[in-house]
Chain A
């Protein structure tokens, strides 16, 4: 009877080397208040100077989200007194956000596309740390560049919200504008939840219908992982649905996600005014974003995860899951495509990347780019398997050695003497030894129990440390038994 309308406000911390309006470095974990200057501390007489790198990244993201871009870059001052905010106003974009009317395609979930209402550039605040009865302030973060993205309330479930965040995370990482880490606050999310009666559609951007709607907008904060976003929104939508089902009304309020209890809770009212008394930031003149500049930025766009995934399925015959895995990180997808171009069988390469390579990377806590495994080495390894006849076990050992030593697979195989044993005369003594050692299995095989053949083959492989050609071993076992020697 009621349909949830969920909109997200997402803050993206840009990966610039310096702050958005001053040259202080953007770094985390330094000595508190060591990365500050008169500008980011709001000293009298200090003036903001826009960081071109932050602008470039924001424009890139606006392009990637299909936003229309404002003709001029304009900033406003949004006022509220809070000690972590050096000037007691935030320089942000209210009247003319950098991007409007964009869209974001959810990567799974039926290809749903969510409208982006606006995208704008702004500065972050510092951090307030409470220690007993003391309040400490660290302004290292103050003035770090943020992009805020506001979606239309077109999401209906926690799962969709989680998907949106995952999709956005991939995009910002592809573009290299943010590391996408929600736990560390590189991506922060607030959500708006309201209920509209089913069948009543609103034009995008419209508020709930006037005349005391049953569902007032509830804002939910403290959603610092995409899982919490899903859990909190599922909780909140069912809470609101339950209130409405019983004929009640949902109060418009701000609620916090309580991670421990798994519920949302009304936030203590701080009497905070939502009237920010915005004024134009006259310290920063309107900056025309000329088409040439924007075209230059657009040329830096890379193929985004969703279209790339579709292309990988189409061009390489991969499964959706495999393509999904490969496109999660741009590095991995790039690696995969380079390997395929060097002649690797796409499905085999994808499967190695998804299983063995990922396992080692996770264990060593490395990214593909940092690892000694180059696409050339992977192609060489796959070639050894396909053409050189080395077995899976040897191949896995070789991969481990590549990671350990940073040497080429063929060299490792050669030096370790791991080439496959393919000569009959070399394998025959091994087979004879195995049959002699396992008379029970040999008897069973003679009696027609095929399972015994696998067992004996396995023992032969073990005996040769994986080097024996399994096909040849099987043929030899049959031959020996037929000849009645076993």
Chain B
């Protein structure tokens, strides 16, 4: 049994290590060694393993702030099913990690949006990629794993957060097939697009955790069991010739070579309807966000504004003061495209195009078993290269959106070449195709062994 409080013969106890490291990284929203000391790890395959949980996933007794002022001080009365399943196998919640407000990547420059919500910019020691260099923060979940402060993290993936942050920090991040992991306890902003994902230092750990958290949960009517026959299978990989950042070009080619050497057949096969991914995602996500965030009104929980004259002004104030600019923009957009005359033009078309995208992927995965794509990094969204309009930024983000639209599993993994920074690539498969993604990622890891996190992290391998 691994003990979360560390092994004195190996040096610092775990909580001392985290306290020191956390001062430089700032990954956690809430990390409470005193509380941890009282936790006794249960038995099970994950016994004593420290688990970080993104702050929009409920852990009883921890604040569920969702990176938003709106939920300042809100303590969750429940524990998410995915967290509970890991706790039942012995994992211990080390703390909750920071995130962008409701996980919504800021599409506007920081000057507009302010910086609340994101973690500090210190380079996580485990990741060679430095979020500090970018003007965009990385979610705390991946930082905590990369810095060896947590063995595993659970975080949400709507528009690619898990994969993007894992890629930025040089760790593995899985977005499961939609519905395979219970969303109970996840404060979803776009229920049909969002999943609970897993971040860990190796593909094997991601798989272990995924196998524990997946499956039907009576608390989430959309959850379903992973089909028993969805084992690994198929070694045909489609790719799409794209120009990515120069630093990524080398990693991309190395990954293709490696896959070829290890018995995968790789061929050019562009995934379907790419030109539609961004507008369809943008419309549906905005509509769902406007709907799902309606419940945050300061009446029953979260931020309560003073000085309201009547219920309406109470709600107006709470939402005006509580939400950041990105959230407000999406709510405005979503509200408008659900109203005539825009509804038919944008929302309803997006709904039918999404169905077409799903059908097209069904067909696509008849021809190949997986598709290899870059992970759109946060740096792609800087708005620094003259693309100062919103679709331009979003367009660079498109590789992360297809999985959400079609409910597909996608695994991002680090590829390190020649001592440079790891570059994140992702494999995406058909629904329930997680096992084949793990198989390919493990094969790649033979050639590109993931960096060992510092601290006590290597004990958790």
Q: Tell me, yes or no, whether A45 is within 8 Å of chain B by CB.
A: yes
Q: Tell me, yes or no, whether B73 is within 8 Å of chain A by CB.
A: no
Q: Tell me, yes or no, whether B159 is within 8 Å of chain A by CB.
A: no
Contact of B186 among A45, A87, A128 (CB under 8 A): A45
Q: Tell me, yes or no, whether A266 is within 8 Å of chain B by CB.
A: no
Residues of B within 8 A of A89 (CB): 291, 294-295
Residues of A within 8 A of B291 (CB): 77, 79, 89, 277, 279
| CA distance in complex: A285, B300 (Å) | 27
| CA distance in complex: A297, B77 (Å) | 37
Contact across chains for B221 and A50 when beta carbons are under 8 A apart:
yes
The interface stretch among A36-44, A298-306, A352-360, A432-440 is A36-44
Residues of A within 8 A of B220 (CB): 47, 49
Q: Tell me, yes or no, whether A406 is within 8 Å of chain B by CB.
A: no
Closest to B315 in A: A81
Classify the secondary structure of B's interface with A: loop
Contact across chains for A285 and B294 when beta carbons are under 8 A apart:
no
Residues of A within 8 A of B314 (CB): 83
Name the interface residues of A20-47: CB closer than 8 Å to any CB of B. 38, 41-47
Contacts A44-B71, A81-B297 given; indicate if A282 touches B80 (C-beta within 8 A).
no
Closest to B68 in A: A44
> 0/1 per residue, B294-336, Cβ < 8 Å to A?
1111011100000000111011000000000000000000010
Contacts A41-B301, A44-B187, A279-B338 given; indicate if A83 touches B311 (C-beta within 8 A).
yes
Q: Tell me, yes or no, whether B386 is within 8 Å of chain A by CB.
A: no
Minimum Cβ distance to chain A for residue B273 (Å): 21
| CA distance in complex: A282, B188 (Å) | 11
Minimum Cβ distance to chain B for residue A71 (Å): 18
Contact across chains for A282 and B288 when beta carbons are under 8 A apart:
yes
Name the interface residues of B273-304: CB closer than 8 Å to any CB of A. 287-288, 290-291, 294-297, 299-301
Contact of B299 among A38, A47, A137, A278 (CB under 8 A): A137
Residues of A within 8 A of B400 (CB): none
Contact across chains for A45 and B184 when beta carbons are under 8 A apart:
yes
Q: Tell me, yes or no, whether B76 is within 8 Å of chain A by CB.
A: yes
Closest to A48 in B: B221
Contact across chains for A41 and B64 when beta carbons are under 8 A apart:
no
Minimum Cβ distance to chain A for residue B336 (Å): 9
Q: Tell me, yes or no, whether B339 is within 8 Å of chain A by CB.
A: yes
Contact across chains for B78 and A38 when beta carbons are under 8 A apart:
yes
Closest to A43 in B: B301
Interface size class of B (residues with CB under 8 A): 35 or more
Contact across chains for A283 and B311 when beta carbons are under 8 A apart:
no
> 0/1 per residue, A56-84, Cβ < 8 Å to B?
00000000000000000000010101110
Q: Tell me, yes or no, whether A295 is within 8 Å of chain B by CB.
A: no
Closest to B220 in A: A47
Residues of B within 8 A of A49 (CB): 218-221
Contacts A83-B311, A86-B300, A279-B288 given; indicate if A44 touches B294 (C-beta within 8 A).
no
Minimum Cβ distance to chain A for residue B353 (Å): 15
Residues of A within 8 A of B335 (CB): 277
Minimum Cβ distance to chain B for residue A345 (Å): 56
Closest to B70 in A: A44
Contact of A45 among B64, B179, B294, B340 (CB under 8 A): B64
Q: Tell me, yes or no, whether B66 is within 8 Å of chain A by CB.
A: yes
Contact of A275 among B188, B296, B340 (CB under 8 A): B340
Q: Tell me, yes or no, whether A88 is within 8 Å of chain B by CB.
A: yes
Contact across chains for A88 and B187 when beta carbons are under 8 A apart:
no
Minimum Cβ distance to chain A for residue B398 (Å): 22
Minimum Cβ distance to chain A for residue B355 (Å): 12
| CA distance in complex: A88, B221 (Å) | 21
Q: Tell me, yes or no, whether A405 is within 8 Å of chain B by CB.
A: no
| CA distance in complex: A151, B96 (Å) | 52
Minimum Cβ distance to chain B for residue A89 (Å): 6
Residues of A within 8 A of B410 (CB): none
Q: Tell me, yes or no, whether A284 is within 8 Å of chain B by CB.
A: yes
Contacts A38-B78, A45-B57 given; indicate if A87 touches B311 (C-beta within 8 A).
no
Residues of B within 8 A of A46 (CB): 78, 184
Contact across chains for A42 and B300 when beta carbons are under 8 A apart:
yes
Contacts A45-B58, A45-B80, A79-B294 given; indicate if A282 touches B221 (C-beta within 8 A).
no
> 0/1 per residue, B205-227, Cβ < 8 Å to A?
00000000000001111100000
Residues of B within 8 A of A47 (CB): 183-184, 219-222
Minimum Cβ distance to chain A for residue B187 (Å): 3
Q: Tell me, yes or no, whether A135 is within 8 Å of chain B by CB.
A: yes
Residues of A within 8 A of B78 (CB): 38, 43, 45-46
Closest to B179 in A: A285
Contacts A38-B77, A48-B221, A285-B221 given; indicate if A83 touches B184 (C-beta within 8 A).
no
Contact across chains for B287 and A279 when beta carbons are under 8 A apart:
yes
Minimum Cβ distance to chain A for residue B256 (Å): 37
> 0/1 per residue, A217-235, Cβ < 8 Å to B?
0000000000000000000
| CA distance in complex: A284, B219 (Å) | 11
Contact across chains for A283 and B222 when beta carbons are under 8 A apart:
yes
> 0/1 per residue, B359-389, Cβ < 8 Å to A?
0000000000000000000000000000000
Minimum Cβ distance to chain A for residue B291 (Å): 5
Minimum Cβ distance to chain A for residue B100 (Å): 16
Residues of B within 8 A of A79 (CB): 291, 294, 338
Q: Tell me, yes or no, whether B123 is within 8 Å of chain A by CB.
A: no
Minimum Cβ distance to chain A for residue B69 (Å): 14
Contact of B295 among A86, A128, A277 (CB under 8 A): A86
Task: Report which residue of B76, B179, B294, B315 has the largest number of chain A beta carbons within 10 angstroms of its beta carbon.
Answer: B294
| CA distance in complex: A38, B75 (Å) | 12
Closest to B338 in A: A277
Minimum Cβ distance to chain B for residue A209 (Å): 23
- Interface residues of chain A, those whose CB is within 8 Å of chain B, are 38, 41-50, 77, 79, 81-83, 86-89, 128, 135, 137, 139, 275, 277-279, 282-285
Return 13 A-B CB contacts under 8 Å, by A number: A43-B300, A45-B78, A46-B78, A81-B297, A82-B311, A86-B295, A87-B294, A88-B294, A88-B295, A135-B310, A277-B339, A284-B222, A285-B179
Complex A-B, nearest 3 residue pairs according to Cβ-Cβ distance, in ascending order = A44-B187, A88-B294, A277-B338
Known: A45-B57, A86-B295, A279-B287. 14 other contacts (CB 8 A): A41-B300, A42-B300, A43-B76, A46-B78, A47-B221, A47-B222, A83-B299, A86-B300, A128-B311, A277-B290, A277-B291, A277-B338, A279-B291, A279-B338
